[in-house]
Structure 1
Amino acid sequence: MFRYLHLEFRGLGTMEQFFYYDLEGNIPTWFSSILLFLCAERAWQVASAARASGDRWHRHWRWLSLIFAYLSLDELVQLHEQVVVPLRESLSLGGVLRFAWVVAAVPLVVVFAIAYLRFLMAQPLWTRVAFIVSGVIYVGAAAGMEMVGALVVTAFGFQSLPYAAVSGVEEGAEMLGVVLFLGALTQARARLQGSTPATTPSVPPWSTRP
């Protein structure tokens, strides 16, 4: 919106650099990165609680934490953008696959879904539903809306209002998916911490009753 209203502030240039979601190193980028890192931190706590309670899936929780830590880093420095041009040129991609990183990302998502299927089915119903809904929203926005954005860019260009609208929907839906997942992780942590067996404090020998 700042781009099309041409709002100028002396000494600051345009507000676009601070708030436009399709740029790097600005407020939306930091916000998304922090959200993803909170998910990583929360999943690590869940993994620790799961291990303490004897939950067999504690390693899955740990790996989930590492995956979200990577996603947080990727959101901050745009690692996936580095493969766009090499993939597009080597595979002669265009149109819906103009942003060629989705070609590598979609198979990885499928592998992740298969690897975590049993883990997902072992979770309580509410956690399972929350994970599925948040995952569909996040992946649908990140990959699905990215492909829609590729078509819009081909038709109207990067500087167009339609592309700005698609980017806004994409980033907003990604944030929504992460927030929902963070809530599900918080519930999972509370559940597992509540099931952690209480440890019996050791009694020093001099305090034993005669």
Structure 2
Amino acid sequence: MKFQIPLAPGAVTQFLLRVVTCLAVLSFLSEMTVYFLPGSPSDNYLVKVFSVDSERNIPTAYSVLALLFSSLLLGTIAYAKNLDSSPYKNHWKILSFIFLYISIDEAGQLHENLINPMRSLLNATTGFLYFTWIVPFGFLVAIFLISYSKFMLHLPAPTKKLFVAACALYIGGALGMELVGGYQASTVGEDNIVYQIIVTLEESLEMVGIVVFIHGLISYIKTYLGGVSWNIYIPEKNPQFTDGRNIGLAAISEPANTRVSR
């Protein structure tokens, strides 16, 4: 028995936006319990589980999975581009590996290991550069944007707009709001409502940016590479065993009449 579940851009985007909205609201509400319910016997359990500023919890798991999904979609496009020897096939491959690394970094918060060394190097103990990991990462982002400028110009207009919007949202959250948060943390501290609002906005922008990027990727695959879907195979024999299911991406074929430079 075979089931085919097509990945529709609109449906996937709506689902992910609902998840992001729920996570942002739950995170903010959990943080507010610290200030308005200081005697709560849960010992900040809600914060540990739902706060976007905490590690190894539900928002972190979602972000890691969303980034991994982006990497998978990019890898799928790279595979299709490799088949027709596209001049930009390596750009897609590198993007796939970049998002794979970002997902690993999100899971382990690896970038935070740079804070203390960079803080000592730059003597940045206060101000916008309080979270000093943004300095080397900002430099890497600048190099990436410059090196991928030609790639972006050759994308179809709808895809280009979505990628630019996703990039602006994600970088605006990850670096822009981190600057604001660093100033607030260094001057007032992190244990205040304003800082929690900044952090919630920062993480929300990042998550929405990834949703927009995923929408752009699935739309690109659907429009220019023939679409993509999940195939679920269930063996006909021994139906009582359910662990024999295989899930994979359907083959992608580019329409013969497509002549878009990518």
Structure 1 length as normaliser, TM-score? 0.88
2:231 corresponds to 1:176: no
2:108 corresponds to 1:80: no
State the distance in 2 between where 1:67 and 1:156 align. Answer: 35
Shift of residue 52, structure 1, vs aligned partner? 2.2
Amino acid at match of 1:154: S
Match of 1:149 in 2: 181
User: Could you say what secondary structure the match of 1:15 adopts?
Assistant: helix
Shift of residue 13, structure 1, vs aligned partner? 5.4
Match of 2:92 in 1: 61
Note if contact 2:74-2:217 (Cα within 8 Å) is conserved in structure 1: yes
User: Could you say what secondary structure the match of 1:108 adopts?
Assistant: helix
Residue by residue over 1:187-207, the C-alpha shift from the partner in whole angstroms, topping out at 9 and shown as x without a partner, is 122234236268xxxxxxxxx
Note if contact 2:34-2:44 (Cα within 8 Å) is conserved in structure 1: no
Q: Which has the larger radius of gyration?
A: 1
Aligned counterparts, 1:3-82, within 5 A: 3-6=34-37, 8=40, 14-82=45-113
Note if contact 1:46-1:192 (Cα within 8 Å) is conserved in structure 2: no
Note if contact 1:32-1:75 (Cα within 8 Å) is conserved in structure 2: yes
Match of 1:203 in 2: none
Shift of residue 56, structure 1, vs aligned partner? 1.6
2:138 corresponds to 1:96: no
Change (3 A) 1:46 1:182: same
Note if contact 1:138-1:177 (Cα within 8 Å) is conserved in structure 2: yes
2:194 corresponds to 1:162: yes
Identity in percent: 34
Change (3 A) 1:9 1:191: farther
Match of 1:138 in 2: 170
State the distance in 1 between where 2:144 and 2:78 align. Answer: 18
Amino acid at match of 1:71: I
Task: Structure 1: give runs of 5+ residues left out of the alignment.
Answer: 199-210
Note if contact 1:6-1:14 (Cα within 8 Å) is conserved in structure 2: no
Amino acid at match of 1:196: E
CA RMSD of aligned residues (A): 1.7
Task: Structure 2: give runs of 5+ residues left out of the alignment.
Answer: 1-31, 227-252, 257-262
Note if contact 1:52-1:196 (Cα within 8 Å) is conserved in structure 2: no
User: Could you say what secondary structure the match of 2:128 adopts?
Assistant: helix
Change (3 A) 1:13 1:108: closer
Change (3 A) 1:63 1:104: same
1:109 to 135, 138, 141: 141
Aligned counterparts, 1:189-204, within 5 A: 189-194=221-226, 196=254
Shift of residue 89, structure 1, vs aligned partner? 1.1
| Larger proportion of helix | 1
Shift of residue 108, structure 1, vs aligned partner? 0.4
Note if contact 2:152-2:160 (Cα within 8 Å) is conserved in structure 1: yes
Residue by residue over 1:112-144, the C-alpha shift from the partner in whole angstroms, topping out at 9 and shown as x without a partner, is 011111111000000011111110110011001
Amino acid at match of 2:133: W
Amino acid at match of 2:71: A
Note if contact 1:137-1:177 (Cα within 8 Å) is conserved in structure 2: yes
Residue by residue over 1:73-112, the C-alpha shift from the partner in whole angstroms, topping out at 9 and shown as x without a partner, is 1111000000001100121013100000011011101100
Match of 2:28 in 1: none
Shift of residue 156, structure 1, vs aligned partner? 2.0
Match of 2:156 in 1: 124
